Amino acid sequence: VPGSDDVSLRITHCGVCFADVAWTRNKLGNSVYPLVPG
């Protein structure tokens, strides 16, 4: 429940960069987990 200084948002779309997908799948062999792409 949002407070008086908060905003409520509904996410309807999301984009993912192919490089981030490769990074999370360790395609380059140098990913350090845990990681946050983007």
| Per-residue pLDDT, 36 | 84
Read off the tokens for 19. Answer: 């490089």
pLDDT tens digits for range 1-38? 788 999 999 999 988 899 999 989 999 899 999 988 87
**pTM metric for this prediction:** 0.50
Domain boundaries, the chain: 1-38
Task: Kindly write down the DSSP assignment for every residue of 13-36, as one continuous string.
Answer: -----HHHHHHHTTTTS---SS--
| Per-residue pLDDT, 13 | 96
